[in-house]
Amino acid sequence: MKRLAASSWHAAQLAGSALLGLFLLIPIVALVATLSWDDFLGGLRNPLLVPALRLSLVTTASSLALVVVLGSLLAWRVARNPGRVSRWLEAVAQLPAVIPPAVAGVGLLLAFGRRGLLGAWLDRHGIALAFTTPAVVLAEAFVSAPFFVQAAIAAFRHLDENLLVVSRTLGASPFRTFVRVGLPLAAPGLVAGAAMSWARAVGEFGATLLFAGNLTGRTQTMPLAVYTAMESDLRAAQALSLILVAIAFALLFVLRRVGPGVALPGTEARRA
Amino acid sequence: MLEIGVARKLGPLDLRIDLSLNREAVLVAGPNGAGKSTLLRILLGVVSPDAGRITLDQRVLFDAEKGIDVATEERELGYLPQDYALFPHLDVMGNVTFGLARLKRVERLRRAGEWLERLGVAQFARRFPAELSGGERQRVALARSLARNPRALLLDEPFASLDPVARRELRASLRGWLREWRLPALIVSHDPADAVLADRIAVVERGRIVQQGTIDQLRGTAVSSFVAGFTDESG
């Protein structure tokens, strides 16, 4: 009886893994398998591609820089100074991960739009954000920040406190301790978080569409270009999608190489 | 001279410590939870006392009444934690020069090399901490602290992470070095064998120093079962 139960459990695991694995893989296989080489090359010549790819790279690099710099400061604060304020900060930084992107877009518009909470004040000072390239950066930063912040908090929390105290006894200020000890030791976690955050920013669609619009060359990022191409030319949409898939695979490769399990110089893995 | 007179309530612990260290090594012994680690953290400036005063060579490090609380990096203390806390991303030379940032590069390397030489670990300068034995790590950590010319040394369970052979060997070496350097050294330990390192033992129980003196003075006049056990086992 026990043996039967064990083998059924084993079979259920296998079946579940196979089903989910196939389900996750089939759409990606379909993207590749249903497109001929000529169609792919044709899709690459679509006029939407170059401006969208350039805009995606520029805006996601900007949003990543914003998220990494501010997120590292917030994560350090939360990880090293536990308390009520830190718990609130952590909760606030997680919020965008559970808010639907379209809702985030509406929120951003109501905050930074011409008549928004802050937007009205900005507008009086000659700064208009909505439906501009900076709006794309803000939308991407908003939806992708939680991925970096969570990883950074976890990485900073894992640091051995003695290393930080010793650094201070060796004359290093709190800032130098952060830069010379905290950042290098947390680097694998930070890189993994940055990669996840960047991936989320590259794929961002809903918030960008609502807050920044879909203007070629100004606010039309790769996912929006795929959406636009879908309306006229499925092959072009497919070619653009494949580029996003290639980016995702490259990222996955980097993540697996530089994941949190990465070994520091001189540790076992390095000698192995 | 290190003069400590501090009070701090931390959960169930009510710590009140008065202790003076001349140019001598004092072993702070006591059972788990007695407040030894909290005392160390107070001296390091990681935990602030509720009241009291700490001075080191007449310089005030902490004074609750005057609102003085000198930052950890300005206390001029050498600290050797239990696991030695060598920076795993820096090699031995990088670890030792870490605290010498204010010196010029040539002077930094010379000073670090000199201390590594004195502690017998100069040959490991380009190795990473993970490639060293426990004893070698301890020597590197000591070199790192001492290269900055600290005014006092704080050692937390200095041999806890070593095997018995390395422990015996290093205990003898450390004893010699402490005699040579004549720095105020506060050694936190619950291992009676570490008594040989110290000129004086201060036993902390439930946040108070219950007895202090040389190991011979404590022997036979033990005020608690911990002190009796500690002196019996110290050999």
Q: Give CA–CA dist B66/B75, Å, rounded.
A: 17
Domain end point (choices B150, B169, B201): B150
DSSP H/E element including A57: helix A49-80
> Is A52 within 8 Å of A227 (Cβ atoms)?
no
Quickly count: other Cβ atoms within 10 Å of residue A114's Cβ. 13
**Please, what's the largest Cα pairwise distance for chain A?**
77
Please work out, in degrees rounded to the nearest 5, the angle formed at the alpha carbon of residue A105 by the alpha carbons of A102 and A108: 155
> Which A residues, 158 through 197, put their C-beta within 8 Å of a C-beta on chain B?
160, 162-163, 165-173, 176, 180-181, 184-185
Domain boundaries, chain A: 24-258
Q: Which CATH number fits domain A24-258: 1.10.3720.10, 3.20.20.140, 3.40.50.970, 3.40.50.2300?
A: 1.10.3720.10
Could you give phi then psi for residue B201, rounded to 5 degrees? -115, 135
> Is residue B232 one of the residues assigned to a domain?
yes
Q: What pLDDT does B223 receive?
A: 85
Helix (H, G, I), strand (E, B) or coil at B161: coil
Contact assignment for B128 to A267 by CB distance below 8 Å: yes
User: Within a domain: residue B94?
Assistant: yes
Inform me whether the C-beta atom of residue A272 falls under 8 Å from chain B C-beta atoms. no
CB contact under 8 A, B89 and A264: yes
Indicate whether B188 and B140 sit together in one domain.
Answer: no
Identify which of A58, A200, A190 has the alpha carbon closest to the alpha carbon of residue A137. Answer: A58
Q: Tell me: do B102 and B217 sit in the same domain.
A: no
Residue B21 and residue B212 in contact, taking contact as beta carbons nearer than 8 Å: no
* DSSP classification of residue A181: I
Q: How many domains does chain B have?
A: 2
Which residues in B lie closer than 8 A to residue A167 (C-beta atoms)? 87, 98
pLDDT of residue B61: 96
Give me A18's structure tokens: 């196979």
**B208, part of any domain:** yes
CATH of the domain at B188: 3.40.50.300
Question: What pLDDT is recorded for position A212?
Answer: 95
Q: Is residue B3 part of a domain?
A: yes
Query: What's residue A272's pLDDT?
Result: 28
- Predicted pLDDT of residue A7: 87
Nearest residue, CB atoms, B89 vs list A173, A265, A268: A265
What six digits make up the tokens of A9?
């459990």
B103 with B191, same domain? no
Nearest to residue B172, comparing CAs of B154, B196, B205?
B196
Q: Using the 8-state DSSP alphabet, how is residue B234 labeled?
A: T
Domain boundary at B98, B133, B150, which?
A: B150
Q: Does B208 lie in the same domain as B96? A: no
Where among B115, B150, B185 does a domain terminate? B150
B115 and B179 assigned to the same domain: no
- Helix axes A234-257 and A2-33, enclosed angle (nearest 10): 130
> How confident is the model at residue B190, as a pLDDT?
83
Separation CA A40–CA B178 (nearest Å): 75
Give the other-Cβ count within 10 Å of B94's Cβ. 18
φ/ψ (deg, to 5) at B62: -150, 135
pLDDT of res. A264 = 43
Q: For residue A270, what pLDDT is reported?
A: 34
The pLDDT, as a whole number, for residue B89 is 95
In a domain, B81, yes or no: no
CA separation, residue A224 to residues A35, A43, A142, B80, B231 (Å): 20, 15, 17, 57, 77
| Whether B71 and B8 share a structural domain | yes
In order along its 235 residues, chain B shows pLDDT tens digits of: 999 999 999 888 899 999 999 989 999 999 888 889 899 999 999 999 999 999 999 899 999 999 999 999 999 999 999 999 999 999 999 999 999 999 999 999 999 999 999 989 999 999 999 999 988 999 999 999 999 999 999 999 988 878 888 888 888 888 888 888 888 999 999 888 888 889 999 999 999 999 999 888 888 888 888 888 888 887 6
Clarify whether residues B90 and B203 are in a common domain. no
Q: Which of B61, B72, B146, B151 to mutate to test the interface with A (most CBs of A within 10 A)?
A: B72
**Cα torsion angle, B67, B72, B78, B79, sign:** positive
Residue B90 lies in a domain: yes
The verdict on B11 and B72 lying in the same domain is: yes
Which residues constitute the domain of residue B113? 86-150
The answer to whether ipTM exceeds 0.90 is: yes
Domain match, B115 and B138 both: yes
| pTM for the whole structure | 0.87
- How far apart, in Å, are the Cα atoms of B178 and each of B24, B61, B167, B191, B198? 8, 23, 16, 18, 9
B68 and B161 housed in the same domain:
yes
B144 and B221, same domain (yes or no): no
Do B171 and B219 lie in a common domain?
yes
- Per-position pLDDT tens, chain A of length 272: 667 788 899 999 999 999 999 999 999 999 889 988 888 888 888 888 999 999 999 999 999 999 999 999 999 999 999 899 999 999 999 999 999 999 999 999 999 998 889 989 998 999 999 999 999 999 999 999 999 999 999 999 999 999 999 999 999 999 999 999 999 999 999 999 999 999 999 999 999 999 999 999 999 999 999 999 988 888 888 998 998 888 888 888 877 776 554 444 444 433 32
